[in-house]
Amino acid sequence: MRDVAIIGVKNTKFGEQWDRSFRDLVVEAGVGAVGDAGVVGEKIDSMFVGNMSGGQFVEQEHIGALIADYSGLAKHMHVPSTRVEAACASGGLALRQGIYAVASGMDDIVIAAGAEKMTDVPSAKASSALAAAADREWEGIMGATFPGLYAMIAKMHMHKYGTTSEQLASVAVKNHHNGQHNPIAQYKSQITIESVLKSIMVADPLHIFDCSPITDGASAVVLAPADIAHEFTDTPIYVKATAQASDTIALHDRRDITTLDAAVAAGKRAYQMAKMEAKDIDLAEVHDCFTIAEICAIEDLGFAKKGEGGIMTQNGETEIGAKIPINTSGGLKSCGHPVGATGIKQAIEIVQQLRGEAGKRQVDGAEVGMTHNVGGSGATAVVHIFSRNR
Amino acid sequence: MIIMSVPRFWRKQIARYNLVGTHCQKCDEYFYPPRNMCPACRRDGEIEDFKFSGKGELVTFTVIHTAAEGFEKQTPYVLGIIKLKEGPCLTSQIICDPKDVSIGMRVSPVFRKLGQDGEQGMIYYGTKFVPENARN
């Protein structure tokens, strides 16, 4: 198996982009990443694109071919392009498929992208599309919403470990603080614990400010074999681990409601592959679709002891400059959550941090970073570890 | 608002109306929602239908204020995970005042309307839960 490096990256702006279409966004991200890598189109061997629900959000399937076409890679070059889907983990999974292609030796230059255009439908329709990531037949039919499922995780976490609404809110406050320095972030406004607690209740105990938003956006990275990465860039970022795990589709079938066993398993596999432990990670982008999800994530990945993710966040240990900076990009909460793009955006944040290009969000001396991308209420988890050093 | 297509709902109507799940005779494990393959012994299992009593306890819950599509008129409603006494867990609504719900409370099943496909469309029924000893 060959070592793989990321040689180019590009995010579009994340937010409500009424004037831009799904294909506009993808082309901007793809062309930008290829430009960042200094690669010509003729060199591209294949593409993988994460997209959760083009069918429901823009009534468009066959996303792989569409993107190859509008990127100018279809009509003359016939570059193979594959759509990958695992709900909100679609982006992370597209990256993983791209890494497979390069590592195997089948392909050299590969684009891994992710995209979602969520504001072309009313928000109720968007919520309904997202709910399809849970078990439609046995959760959705009973009136379960996505915030509702994570609210049940939060309620149990509070009951078992004494986690408080203030601790949940501190995740959102921190992520908005980080997001103000991210040029692509959807929300740069600052919030306080009080404003989170005063915001409307969506599903008790989760307020609207505990939830990530609906977002349009696309992200893309260019992958290459590590052996030739320096031909394209002075700062290739190396993939040290790619790991994925599954769990039951329905929350009610889990071993423990407050642990995402798929994230634990993917994390363990990633640490093993990279020959690293949690203490070796300098920063992580985790899947904070809801504030409770970040608390579970830092526990599942070994940054916090089980049950202590809330207090650790409240104590500021996950801020930039502290013990383990989490979601320096602003996370899903402040940067936005175009579901198919999120897994790729997380990797781009780590690349920018490890290159030392993160501006006011920069984690000093960052050498090793992790991404954690979750599908549904935890049925798919994808974890990657990246390093400046091969 | 259509909450599920008619054939899709109808296929599992007995399971939804009467809490009929399955049981693996080899592993002695019970499944609701029903499974046709035992996740423990997989191909080796012998699966039979099993009707659950519906007695159980509340594992966790939430009060939904922003409803799922088709459930807008029901807010606020209590959604919970119920552990049946035979072992499996399921997701359903708890019919009671949100103030009276607590983790660990004992619940019993009731046959209730889940939703309706518009003014003249199909009515969907299924199993919800009430606090044990509640009058219904």
Mean pLDDT of A224-241: 97
Q: E strand or H helix at A153, and its extent?
A: helix A146-161
| B127 near A CB under 8 A | no
Interface test with A, best of B9, B65, B125 (most A CBs within 10 A): B65
In the β-sheet with A44-50, what is the strand arrangement from edge to edge? A81-84, A44-50, A109-116, A217-225, A4-11, A237-246, A380-387, A368-375, A283-285
Interface test with A, best of B20, B32, B35, B62 (most A CBs within 10 A): B62
Residue B136: pLDDT over 80: no
- If we measure between CA atoms, which residue out of A172, A166, A203 comes closest to residue A187? A172
Collect all residues of chain B within an 8 Å Cβ-Cβ radius of residue A138.
33, 90-91
- If we measure between CA atoms, which residue out of A238, A340, A349 comes closest to residue A7? A238
Collect all residues of chain B within an 8 Å Cβ-Cβ radius of residue A156.
59-60, 103
Task: Point out the residue among B60, B77, B79 whose CB comes nearest to the CB of A257.
Answer: B60
Counted residue by residue, chain B has a size of 136
- The neighbour count for residue A374, using CB atoms within 10 Å, is 33
Counting Cβ atoms within 10 Å, is residue A295 exposed (0-12), middle (13-18) or buried (19+)?
buried
Q: By the 8 A CB rule, do A166 and A134 touch?
A: no
The dihedrals phi and psi of B131, each to the nearest 5 degrees, come to -55, 140
Q: Residue holding tokens 């915030």?
A: A147
Cα–chain-centroid distance for residue A241?
16
- If we measure between CA atoms, which residue out of B85, B87, B105 comes closest to residue B95? B105
Counting Cβ atoms within 10 Å, is residue A198 exposed (0-12), middle (13-18) or buried (19+)?
exposed
Collect all residues of chain A within an 8 Å Cβ-Cβ radius of residue B89.
252-253
Task: Compute the distance between CA of residue A165 and CA of residue A327 in angstroms, rounded to an integer.
Answer: 20
Task: Compute the distance between CA of residue A147 and CA of residue A211 in angstroms, rounded to an integer.
Answer: 7
Whole-number pLDDT of residue A57: 94
Task: Compute the distance between CA of residue A88 and CA of residue A160 in angstroms, rounded to an integer.
Answer: 27
Whole-number pLDDT of residue B40: 87
Question: How far is the alpha carbon of A208 from chain B, nearest alpha carbon, in Å?
Answer: 10
Collect all residues of chain B within an 8 Å Cβ-Cβ radius of residue A140.
68
Q: By the 8 A CB rule, do A219 and A11 touch?
A: yes
Whole-number pLDDT of residue A313: 98
Give the pLDDT confidence of A185-202 residue by residue, as tens digits: 999 999 999 999 999 999
For B22, the token pair is: 């399955």
Which residues pair with residue B116 across a beta bridge? B123
Whole-number pLDDT of residue B119: 82
Percent of chain A scoring above 70 in pLDDT: 100
Task: Point out the residue among B68, B81, B88 whose CB comes nearest to the CB of A145.
Answer: B68
- State the pTM of this model: 0.97
In this prediction, residue B2 has a pLDDT band, given cuts at 50, 70 and 90, of low
- Complex ipTM, two decimals? 0.96
Mean pLDDT of B27-53: 92
Average pLDDT value over all residues in chain B: 92
Q: By the 8 A CB rule, do A300 and A264 touch?
A: yes
Whole-number pLDDT of residue B1: 54
- If we measure between CA atoms, which residue out of A102, A34, A388, A103 comes closest to residue A237? A388
For A151, the token pair is: 């609210």
Counting Cβ atoms within 10 Å, is residue A110 exposed (0-12), middle (13-18) or buried (19+)?
buried
In this prediction, residue B42 has a pLDDT band, given cuts at 50, 70 and 90, of confident
Give the pLDDT confidence of A50-101 residue by residue, as tens digits: 999 999 999 999 999 999 999 999 999 999 999 999 999 999 999 999 999 9
In this prediction, residue B69 has a pLDDT band, given cuts at 50, 70 and 90, of confident
A202/B66 touch (CB, cutoff 8 Å), yes or no: yes
Collect all residues of chain B within an 8 Å Cβ-Cβ radius of residue A135.
33
DSSP, collapsed to helix, strand or coil, labels residue A359 as helix
Residue A315: pLDDT over 90: yes
Mean pLDDT of B59-74: 93
Spatial neighbors of A156 by CB under 8 A, at least 6 apart, are: A257, A258, B59, B60, B103
Task: Compute the distance between CA of residue A384 and CA of residue A96 in angstroms, rounded to an integer.
Answer: 8
Q: E strand or H helix at A65, and its extent?
A: helix A63-70
Whole-number pLDDT of residue B134: 64
In this prediction, residue B116 has a pLDDT band, given cuts at 50, 70 and 90, of confident
- If we measure between CA atoms, which residue out of A156, A118, A375 comes closest to residue A266? A375
Whole-number pLDDT of residue B21: 97
Q: Is the dihedral of CA B10, B16, B18, B22 positive or negative?
A: positive
Average pLDDT value over all residues in chain A: 97
Interface test with B, best of A128, A138, A142, A206 (most B CBs within 10 A): A142
Q: What is the separation, in whole angstroms, between the first and last Cα of chain B?
A: 28
Residue A274: pLDDT over 80: yes
Q: Residue holding tokens 């409370």?
A: B105
Nearest residue of B to residue A200, measured between CA atoms? B65
| B98 near A CB under 8 A | yes
Give the pLDDT confidence of A102-144 residue by residue, as tens digits: 999 999 999 999 999 999 999 888 988 999 999 999 999 999 9
For A278, the token pair is: 């949690």
DSSP, collapsed to helix, strand or coil, labels residue B105 as coil
Task: Point out the residue among A153, A154, A252 whose CB comes nearest to the CB of B90.
Answer: A252
Ranges of H-type helices in A275-316: 291-300, 309-314
Task: Compute the distance between CA of residue A6 and CA of residue A385 in angstroms, rounded to an integer.
Answer: 12
Strand A44-50 relative to strand A81-84, pairing: parallel
Q: By the 8 A CB rule, do A228 and A109 touch?
A: no
Mean pLDDT of A338-344: 98
Count contacts between A and B (CB, < 8 Å).
Answer: 106
Q: By the 8 A CB rule, do B23 and B50 touch?
A: yes
Q: By the 8 A CB rule, do A122 and A50 touch?
A: no
Task: Compute the distance between CA of residue B14 and CA of residue A315 in angstroms, rounded to an integer.
Answer: 51
Catalytic residues of A: 88, 337
Give the pLDDT confidence of A321-336 residue by residue, as tens digits: 999 999 999 999 999 9
CA atoms within 13 A on the CB side of A389: 6
- If we measure between CA atoms, which residue out of A125, A133, A103, A119 comes closest to residue A14? A119
